[in-house]
Each structure stands twice: as C-alpha cells, then as structure tokens.
Chain A
Amino acid sequence: MIAAEIGYERAKTIEEALSLLSQDVDAKLLSGGHSLVPLMKLRLAQPSTLIDVSKIPELRTLDVESERITIGAGVRYFELLGDTRLEELMPVIAQATSVIADPQVRHRGTIGGAAVHADPTSDLAAVFLALEARFHIRSAAGRRIVPIEDWYLAPLTSALERDEMLVAVEFPRPIPRRQAYVKFSHPASGYALAGVAAIMDLTQHGLVQGAGIAVTGAATMPFRASTAEAWLQGRPLNAESVAMAAQVGADDGTYDADDGQYPAVYRKNLARVMLARALEKLAPQ
C-alpha cells in the first residue's frame, strides 16, 4: 500500500496553482488529502504531480460577515465547527461536519475536498443540496460559478474540469432558521448510509416556508427531496405531514446501488426514516 512515485509542488497563490495545473494534464491538487491519498495508495489514482494548495491563504477564508456566506475551499472541517458566527447562522453545517469520520480526519479534510471528490455518501453533499450551494471555480482561463443543480454529475464526479480549481463554496442568504442534519452511519466506514439535511422556516401560523431538504448516502447520488419540499410548502409540520413528506421525499432518489449487505430496498427505507427524523427535529416542540 505504497503510492507510486510522484512529483510535488507547493503553490503559494491560486494563480501559481492554476498555472501548474494548466501545464500538466496528470497533475492533481492536494489539500486535506483524505480522499486522494488513500486512492493513490491503492493506485486507483496515479497523478504525476501533487500541487499542494493547503498553504494558500485565500483558500482558508471564512466569510460570514458579508451579504452571503462564503467558505474557502481549503477550510478544514474542524474550522467549520469552531466558528461561532457560522454555527449561529448555519448550525446544519456544524451538525453535519461534527459527524464526519473522526477528529483526525476532521482536522485534515476540507469542505472543498468534500465537494470536488463528490462521494455520494458525503455528509456535506446533503448540506450543499439543501442550502443551494454555489461553487466558485477558477482556471487559468477565467472564473465561473456552478450552481448545485449542475454540480454532481455521477458518483465521484463533480462538474469541476481537469484544469479547474474550486476556490470557495457560497451559501446564498437568507437562511431559514430551522435546520437539522441527521445521519445513519455505516458501521465500518462511518460514511452516511442515509444522511438528511433539512432547513425551513415556519410562519407565525406554523406553516412550512421555503424548505430545503436533501438526502445523501442512501441513493446512487445525493439528491434533493424536491417533492417533499413542494408538498410541505404552506402545510403545518405534524406527524402526518412528516410521514407523507418522508414517503414522497424518499421517492425522489434513485436506488440502484446494491452492495449486497445494504440492498436498495433497505436504503430507500432508511432514506424515508431519516427524512422523517430530520423533519421531526424541525417541528415545534
């Protein structure tokens, strides 16, 4: 389990990283390394050069004061947990981040790595979907912003092109007050067998307003439970509406991932159960 020989460059700026990336088609960006390095050890990934972007200050910014919340792609999970402003405005990020793997991983892994690796069982995938994240991308040729609906192309494939770099994840405001992330973990890997992020406001009459609900882990791809969101709009949040929303929400996923131990029928049930549990957490006590 030793990676093949590789080149290593440490970039000091985004521009330098992008320039290096444009010169070598087999180069890969390295930040936390918690997805890439294991793949390299298994020789499932064999980049020619690793361009280390972990020391680029611009990628480590956490901007929660301005109009929108923008998180640098190199911000590590534990830094997301430690920011009180962020925790106050978007507790769902802290809730999801706090159950990623273990403390060692949380001190290395980055929000940008989670986004570009596009693991279909990633906890943050549900958060990105529910909060309608926007991905700020740069390349030697320019900049673009990819909305969440265009981000996940296939398992382990995001919209990021080979010569591009994710520099930040943006969450548009306003953010609903009620937020929850619930997770059912795989007993071995700790990844989500089903993770649900849900956000919404309730009107003064207790009616659902602007729900964002998404599921990770259970289906082939992380998905937004749009049918559940639409169904809940303007309805009170009670046992019946939760059960119905969970039912229709689970139907929004495609469950062809059958790994034997966790058959699709079970995964879909788990999506439904965890949807219900996330919504129950948002209901008025």
Chain B
Amino acid sequence: MSRKLWGENVARREDIRLVQGQGQFTDDRVLPGMLYAAILRSPHAHAKIRQIDVASAQKMPGVIKVYTGSMVSGHLGTIPTAWIPPDSQLKMVPHPPLAVDRVRYVGEAVALVVAQDPYQAEEALYRILVDYEPLPAISDPVQALESSSPRLHEEAPENVALHWKVGTDTDEVFSGADVVVRQTFRQQRLIPNPMEPRSALVQYNSATGDMTAWLTTQNPHIHRFLMSGILGIPEHKLRVIAQDVGGGFGSKIACYADEVLTAFAARDLMRPVKWTESRSEHFVATTHGRDHYDEVELAGTKAGRVLAVRVKTYANMGAYLSTAGPGVPTILFGLIVNGAYDIAQASAEVYGVFTNTTPVDAYRGAGRPEATFLIERIMDVYAREIGMDPVELRRINLIKKEQFPYTNPFGIVYDSGDYHQTLDLALKTLDYASLRQEREALRRQHKYMGVGFSTYVEMCGLGPSQVAGAVGFQGGLWESATIRLHPTGKATVLTGASPHGQGEETTFGQIVADRLGIPLEDIDVVHGDTDRVSMGWGTYGSRSTAVGGGALAKAADRIVEKAKIIAAHMLEVPVGAVQYDAGQFYPEGSRERAVGIQDVTLQAHLGWNLPEGVEPGMEVSAFYDPTNFTYPFGTHVAVVSVDPDTGEVKLLRYLAVDDCGPAINPMIVEGQVHGGVVQGVGQALYEGAVYDGDGQLVSGSFMDYAMPKARFFPRLETQRTETPSPHNPLGVKGVGETGTIASTPAVVNAVMDALSSFGVVNLDMPLTPPKVWQAIQTSMAKGGPS
C-alpha cells in the first residue's frame, strides 16, 4: 500500500481556526437567556461551617439564586472516585459538591451564586456571610500520618487514604548485597495550568429532559457517565460536548463539583448557566499533580550490576480522592519503578494520604514521571557511590534488545525496544567524550558544568480494558472509531479520543487518507461530542493514537473490505481477483480499469445495483481494544551550567532521543516532545506549589508560581529511532508524556553532576538559585570544591 501522508509533516489542520480566533471553547459559547454562575470558595484549609447567611447576597442586583450545600445535598450525588486499586484498602470518603458542615481545603466550593451577568454573580459572593470555626490543618503527607495531626475524615482515622504494596521480596538481596544506596526524594506538588482554565455551560430542556453540557474535559463520555449518575439524568438524555479544549495535562480528566453544580443550577432554574474558572481559582480548585516523599533503596554489585530496587512512597492525595487520583501513585507508578533496567527484584509500597490541600490527580505523565525520577536519580547516586560513569552504569543495566518482550519484576510486559541504540545515538550526537573534557577544563577555572542522563521507558497507550479491570479502573480502555463516507465520497471520521491540543485531527486524517486513498481535505475528524461519537474513553495516558488510531485503522480496513465487494461487482470480477491500492480497486494486472473508492461509495449509497447480500451505505464502526500498553523509551540528556555566585542553573543544551515507534506526523511528535520536555524541566528547576502551616497556598499566582518560560531554554534538540510496537496495528507508541517523564531526572542529574565537586548528592526540586547557592555555601564552609 502506498502511504502518501504517513510520516509527512502535514501542518496541523486545527490551527487554522485557532489562530483565526474561531475556535469553539466552552467559554466562547453564548446561549439565549444564559445566566452566569460564580462559586464561593473556602478561604480556610480546614474549618467547620457553623452557618451560611445568603440573605444579603440573594438581594443583590441581578442575582437569581444562591445555593448552599444543605440546599443541594439531597438532590445531588457525591463526587465519585473512578479508580479503586485492588488490595489498596482504599477509603471511600464522601465528597459533596458543595461543602455542608465542613471544609477541608482552601478552594473547596461552599456556595454557588447564579446571576444575570458574571459581574453581578461575583459581586454577590462578597455578600455571602459564612461563619467558619477554623480547625488545625495539615498539608504535608508525612506529617499528616503523625498521631497528633488533625484528621480529615471519619472514614480514614489515620488520614490514610490507601495503602498498597506490589513486587517481590527484596530483603534477602538487600542483606547480601555488596553495595546498597539509599536516598530520600521529594517530588514536589505541581499546578497544571493549561492555557484555558476550566469552564462549564449547561442547558436543560425541561419538556424533553435533555441536558447538554459543554465542558472543558479530556473525556466527554466519562463525564457523561459520571455526571448522569450524580445528577440523576439518564445517560441518553445527557450530551457532553468538548469541541475545543485548551490543554489539560490531566487536570481535565476529573469530574468536578463545579461542573455538577452548574448542571444542577441549569436544571433547577431551567435556564442555561455558564461557569468559568478564573486563573486564581484554577490554582486552588483544579487538581494538582505529583507531591511525593519517596524513600528509595538500590542493591547492586561493585561492578555496577543492579540487583534490586525498592521504593516506599508517601503520596499526597489532597483532601478528597479525585476521579483518577488513587491510580496515579499506585498502578501508574509502582509497576514501573525498575525503569528501563533489567532488575530481577523490585518492590513498591505506597501510602496515599489525606491532607488539607487541593485534590491530586493525573498530571502529564501521571505516576510514570515520579517512578522514572526515582530510578534515574538513584542510578546516578549508585554510579557515584561505585565511582562509575553514569552512562556506563546504564549501558550495563539497560534491558537488551534480544530480551524483548521483557517481563519486569511486576509482571508488566515491555513490548519492544532497542534502548542501547538511543543511548548510542545520544552520545554520538553530543560527542559525550569531549563534553566530559570540557567539563573538567571548566572546573579548573571554577566554572561548573554538568551532564545528566535519563534513559527512560514508560508505559502508556492505556488499554487494554482487561487490564483496566484488573487494576481497578472503573471504566474500559478500548477506543471507538466510525468512518462515514458520504455519497460524494467525502469522509466524516468520528473518534472516541478527545484531543485537546495533541493534533489528532491531523494525524487521524493522515491515517484515513492513506488507508482509503482519499485526499486529506475530504476528511473531517470529529471528536468531543457524545451525541456524535457513540462511545469513547478520551485522551490521557498517551493513548489516543495507539488506541484510537488502532480503532481507526480497523474501521478503515472494514470500509475497504465492503467497498471491495461492491467494486468487484462493478468490475464484474470475483472479489478474490480484486486488488486494492490507495483508494483504487482493480482486477489483478489491469490497473487501467480501476474504480475509485469514492465512486464505489456513491454506488453503495445509490443502491441501484449492489451485489446480493450487501447492504447499502458506507459507514463502519470499529471498537478496538489493544493487547497491551505501549512502551516508548529513549535517552534524554541535559547539559547545564551552575553559577556558583548566584546558584543559577542554566540549561545549555537539551537532547531528546525518543522512540515512539513510527511517527505518523514527525512535526507533531517533535512538538509533543518539546512541550513535554519544557514541563518536565519546569518541575526540575522552577515550579512548586507551596502551602504554609495553615494550609494556605502561598504560591497561588503566576507572581509566585514559576512556569517555565521560552527564555529559559536553549533550542531543544530532538532525534528519533523507530521500533514498532507489536501491541497495535499501527505499531505506534504514545509520545504525549515522554518529554515530561524523561526530562526532570535528566536535568536534576545534570545539576548534581555540576555540583559533584562540592560534594552535593541531592537537593530537593525545584532547584532554585537560593537552594543551589546555599548548598554551595555549605560546601565552601567545609573547605570548598574537591
């Protein structure tokens, strides 16, 4: 089959409407008679609510209605958790959409105002009088486990939300090992901050009982499923639309109280209601990411062979369990703590802890960045302990090409790979030997350069569904695709994936254009509408192309199959004698007699003369469940300089060598890597949510919370190798999260390399100038660099 568009840098088709300001984001929509909602949020991290007085707010100009927790509690379900890891002793705690008698984090919804315009709604918030009785608060997950710490939920008397263990017994290996290294790591809390804050617009038709909800979601069908239960609206009466969504990074997976409340008000008032989060609200009301304390131990030989690794983690869950929250520090983390290395024994033990903080859920990479950080950092600690170059150590321990499919100590089967190839390509691209020489030469001039590596693997492309069930995910992980060829041969392609910046309208178009031999401009890819797309599980976990693309390939093949039968009839030859190539059907050896798929489609729609038993029309749906996750991998290298006078870290070079299988659109792949790397570097050097002792979010705005900025970066260098995955028909692996997963430890390893002569082994992220400077000062006080 000729593949014209596969592998081509086709310009992103979605960008035209976006750059022309014609995107349809939720907040762009205006409906006749629409009202505006605003949410009063708790200013306390922990408090009893004695009384709420809405009388004066209710009298404010334009105010239609003010809702409190007690007014809605009988009419609405609680906000559910949709991931219950098996054997995790998960404590289901009730999460009411509006707090009734107690608030447990700053930002928790306390009251809802609906008014004629957004200014009136916000103004009325200032008139609601809430009588709080503040309670002691706790924001740190380790401290929260102390018996003297405040307790959040009766159902979780020790603040333990879950306790989960996985892996092999490693005690024997550790007690007999020549070398054991231990290190405690802090993986700080991050605030996602997509460009578009969250928003909901809901319309209810009281006559028909139909509700339409425009939402900022990564998974409209999951939202429909969950919200229908919470609201008591039959699923077939609820339509969720998420046409353009301005980024999510995991923060738009969860079903939020705000969305449910907006829907509730729309139904109650029988008027469309819109709610849109401000950036300040986003900081406290949208789920956060990471927030781990990790204790890591590695056992190995003096020659650099890793024998075992074990991890003990305290993961901050926030005040309530978010939709996918419990799966992130367990399933998506614990099962891959051995990383890309052939390690016989490994184990992970995780405490998920309730604290008086914003709930934690998936954030780009979700669990896998945390796991990768630990193994990549402890490898460097080990290398330094035994006096070996970290590259050499990695070379010894990386899983070898001939070991695939490779079963890791947790029973996870890595699909395919040539890990050493990406390492070699990285070393060659960088000229590693001369980099090391340069580093030594600079050191003699009291200048500090460091090189850091991350030879990562991750598991993504979430499905299959059987595994979803086994790991307690309360949903399927297959994907759907429908290809509808219209009489003129134009195609509408419907996918259950819900891209929100990843460019699948383009890549999916490329897949269909190639398989059906139809020009790209004749194909529209539709997503993010539960009435148009029958079912789907959405976009997260780098699954859309691996799983959604798989469904699409399957649907396309079925279209060809049907069209071939009709083409054979048109050509008056047996089906078996028809050849197909790039949209053309022809008798073997007679290409000049070819009929095109678009002509065949017209005949299928006319139905004047179809072969016996063939139904008219040309529409096919496919539901595809992959056989396993996909395992993209690669080598990332950061080269940094550290200014000893200011502690400032500068990224001098960044090289990403990734293998995500064949790239359908290399430009989009590169874009995903760029964005991912920048977010991962953000964690290493800049970002970090800070709560004070009272549970107040100190870093609650862009004045304090440092997002990575373009001026912090050199030109990113990217390279690829291609090892197809046998787990899906396209051979593709996810690439949406690899950059974030790989880059954080690469950068921290580089900084630690630069600081090695000061005897610094580890510093907590983000590696801010004062932190680095202080570490250097401490070393200087002890005699300075070695």
Query: Do A188 and B774 touch across chains, with their CB atoms under 8 A apart?
Result: no
Query: Do A2 and B119 touch across chains, with their CB atoms under 8 A apart?
Result: yes
From B646, B698, B702, B705, give the contact of A260 (CB < 8 A): B698
Tell me if B773 counts as interface (CB < 8 A to partner A). Answer: yes
Of A7-15, A167-175, A266-274, the one touching chain B: A266-274
Given contacts A5-B123, A261-B768, contact A266 B773 (CB under 8 A): yes
From B646, B648, B702, B769, give the contact of A188 (CB < 8 A): B702
Query: Do A261 and B123 touch across chains, with their CB atoms under 8 A apart?
Result: no
Tell me if B707 counts as interface (CB < 8 A to partner A). Answer: yes
From B278, B702, B770, give the contact of A261 (CB < 8 A): B770
Tell me if B592 counts as interface (CB < 8 A to partner A). Answer: no
The minimal Cβ–Cβ distance linking A263 to chain B, given in whole angstroms, is 6
Query: Do B646 and A270 touch across chains, with their CB atoms under 8 A apart?
Result: yes
Bitwise interface map of A from 143 to 161 toward B, beta carbon under 8 Å scored 1, else 0: 0000000000000000000
In the complex, the chain B residue whose C-beta lies closest to that of A274 is B646
Query: Do A188 and B704 touch across chains, with their CB atoms under 8 A apart?
Result: yes
Query: Chain B CB within 10 Å — which of A5, A187, A188, A266 has the most?
Result: A187
Query: Do A263 and B702 touch across chains, with their CB atoms under 8 A apart?
Result: no
Chain B, 750-786, CB within 8 A of any chain A CB: 768-770, 773-774
Tell me if A231 counts as interface (CB < 8 A to partner B). Answer: no
Tell me if A25 counts as interface (CB < 8 A to partner B). Answer: no
CB neighbours (8 Å) of B704 from chain A are 188-189
How far is A254 from B352 in the complex, measured between Cα atoms in Å?
A: 44
The minimal Cβ–Cβ distance linking A266 to chain B, given in whole angstroms, is 4
In the complex, the chain A residue whose C-beta lies closest to that of B122 is A2
How far is A262 from B690 in the complex, measured between Cα atoms in Å?
A: 13
How far is A22 from B690 in the complex, measured between Cα atoms in Å?
A: 44
Tell me if B384 counts as interface (CB < 8 A to partner A). Answer: no
In the complex, the chain B residue whose C-beta lies closest to that of A186 is B706
Tell me if A1 counts as interface (CB < 8 A to partner B). Answer: yes
Query: Do B122 and A188 touch across chains, with their CB atoms under 8 A apart?
Result: no
**Total chain B interface residues with beta-carbon distance under 8 A:** 30
Query: Do A189 and B702 touch across chains, with their CB atoms under 8 A apart?
Result: yes
Tell me if A184 counts as interface (CB < 8 A to partner B). Answer: yes
Query: Do A184 and B707 touch across chains, with their CB atoms under 8 A apart?
Result: no
From B645, B685, B690, B774, give the contact of A273 (CB < 8 A): B645
In the complex, the chain A residue whose C-beta lies closest to that of B773 is A266
Tell me if B279 counts as interface (CB < 8 A to partner A). Answer: yes
Query: Do B123 and A4 touch across chains, with their CB atoms under 8 A apart?
Result: yes
**Total chain A interface residues with beta-carbon distance under 8 A:** 18
Query: Do B774 and A266 touch across chains, with their CB atoms under 8 A apart?
Result: yes
In the complex, the chain A residue whose C-beta lies closest to that of B703 is A189
Tell me if B43 counts as interface (CB < 8 A to partner A). Answer: no
The minimal Cβ–Cβ distance linking B678 to chain A, given in whole angstroms, is 14
Given contacts A2-B122, A261-B768, contact A269 B278 (CB under 8 A): no
CB neighbours (8 Å) of B698 from chain A are 260
Query: Do B646 and A184 touch across chains, with their CB atoms under 8 A apart?
Result: yes
CB neighbours (8 Å) of A2 from chain B are 118-119, 122-123
From A1, A43, A189, A273, give the contact of B646 (CB < 8 A): A273
Tell me if B280 counts as interface (CB < 8 A to partner A). Answer: yes
In the complex, the chain A residue whose C-beta lies closest to that of B644 is A273
Tell me if B373 counts as interface (CB < 8 A to partner A). Answer: no
Given contacts A1-B279, A1-B280, A4-B123, contact A266 B706 (CB under 8 A): no
The minimal Cβ–Cβ distance linking B732 to chain A, given in whole angstroms, is 36
CB neighbours (8 Å) of B702 from chain A are 188-189
The minimal Cβ–Cβ distance linking A264 to chain B, given in whole angstroms, is 10
How far is A123 from B163 in the complex, measured between Cα atoms in Å?
A: 51
CB neighbours (8 Å) of A4 from chain B are 123
CB neighbours (8 Å) of A269 from chain B are 645-646, 773
Query: Do A262 and B278 touch across chains, with their CB atoms under 8 A apart?
Result: no
Query: Do B770 and A266 touch across chains, with their CB atoms under 8 A apart?
Result: yes
CB neighbours (8 Å) of B122 from chain A are 1-2
Bitwise interface map of B from 706 to 732 toward A, beta carbon under 8 Å scored 1, else 0: 110100100000000000000000000
CB neighbours (8 Å) of A1 from chain B are 122, 278-281
CB neighbours (8 Å) of B768 from chain A are 187, 261
In the complex, the chain B residue whose C-beta lies closest to that of A269 is B773
Query: Do B703 and A187 touch across chains, with their CB atoms under 8 A apart?
Result: no
Bitwise interface map of A from 241 to 285 toward B, beta carbon under 8 Å scored 1, else 0: 000000000000000000011110010011001000000000000
CB neighbours (8 Å) of A266 from chain B are 647, 769-770, 773-774
CB neighbours (8 Å) of A261 from chain B are 690, 768, 770
Query: Do A188 and B119 touch across chains, with their CB atoms under 8 A apart?
Result: no
Bitwise interface map of A from 164 to 193 toward B, beta carbon under 8 Å scored 1, else 0: 000000000000000000001011110000
The minimal Cβ–Cβ distance linking A183 to chain B, given in whole angstroms, is 12
CB neighbours (8 Å) of B690 from chain A are 260-261
Tell me if B686 counts as interface (CB < 8 A to partner A). Answer: yes
Chain A, 26-54, CB within 8 A of any chain B CB: 43
How far is A33 from B39 in the complex, measured between Cα atoms in Å?
A: 27
In the complex, the chain A residue whose C-beta lies closest to that of B708 is A187
CB neighbours (8 Å) of A43 from chain B are 126
How far is A5 from B124 in the complex, measured between Cα atoms in Å?
A: 12
Bitwise interface map of B from 675 to 710 toward A, beta carbon under 8 Å scored 1, else 0: 000000000011000100000001000111111010
Given contacts A1-B279, A188-B703, A188-B705, contact A262 B646 (CB under 8 A): no
How far is A266 from B776 in the complex, measured between Cα atoms in Å?
A: 12
CB neighbours (8 Å) of A262 from chain B are 770
The minimal Cβ–Cβ distance linking A62 to chain B, given in whole angstroms, is 28
The minimal Cβ–Cβ distance linking B576 to chain A, given in whole angstroms, is 66
In the complex, the chain B residue whose C-beta lies closest to that of A190 is B709
Query: Chain A CB within 10 Å — which of B126, B281, B646, B706 has the most?
Result: B646
In the complex, the chain A residue whose C-beta lies closest to that of B771 is A261
From A188, A263, A273, give the contact of B770 (CB < 8 A): A263
Bitwise interface map of B from 170 to 190 toward A, beta carbon under 8 Å scored 1, else 0: 000000000000000000000
Query: Do B707 and A188 touch across chains, with their CB atoms under 8 A apart?
Result: yes
From A187, A263, A270, A273, give the contact of B706 (CB < 8 A): A187
How far is A184 from B647 in the complex, measured between Cα atoms in Å?
A: 11
Chain B, 626-681, CB within 8 A of any chain A CB: 645-648
The minimal Cβ–Cβ distance linking B386 to chain A, given in whole angstroms, is 35
How far is A28 from B549 in the complex, measured between Cα atoms in Å?
A: 58
CB neighbours (8 Å) of B686 from chain A are 187-188
CB neighbours (8 Å) of B281 from chain A are 1
CB neighbours (8 Å) of A5 from chain B are 119, 123
The minimal Cβ–Cβ distance linking A195 to chain B, given in whole angstroms, is 13
CB neighbours (8 Å) of B126 from chain A are 43
Query: Do A188 and B123 touch across chains, with their CB atoms under 8 A apart?
Result: no
CB neighbours (8 Å) of A273 from chain B are 645-646
How far is A189 from B705 in the complex, measured between Cα atoms in Å?
A: 8
The minimal Cβ–Cβ distance linking A234 to chain B, given in whole angstroms, is 28
CB neighbours (8 Å) of B278 from chain A are 1
How far is A161 from B283 in the complex, measured between Cα atoms in Å?
A: 36
Bitwise interface map of B from 278 to 322 toward A, beta carbon under 8 Å scored 1, else 0: 111100000000000000000000000000000000000000000
The minimal Cβ–Cβ distance linking A116 to chain B, given in whole angstroms, is 20
The minimal Cβ–Cβ distance linking B435 to chain A, given in whole angstroms, is 26
How far is A107 from B312 in the complex, measured between Cα atoms in Å?
A: 52
CB neighbours (8 Å) of B707 from chain A are 188
CB neighbours (8 Å) of B119 from chain A are 2, 5
CB neighbours (8 Å) of A186 from chain B are 706
5 extra A-B contacts, CB within 8 A, seeds A266-B770, A266-B774: A5-B123, A187-B685, A188-B705, A261-B770, A262-B770
Q: Name 23 interchain pairs, CB-CB below 8 A, sorted by A.
A: A1-B279, A1-B281, A2-B118, A2-B122, A2-B123, A184-B648, A184-B769, A187-B685, A187-B706, A187-B709, A188-B702, A188-B704, A189-B703, A260-B698, A261-B690, A261-B768, A261-B770, A262-B770, A263-B770, A266-B770, A266-B773, A266-B774, A269-B773
4 closest Cβ contacts across the A-B interface?
A: A188-B706, A187-B706, A266-B770, A1-B278
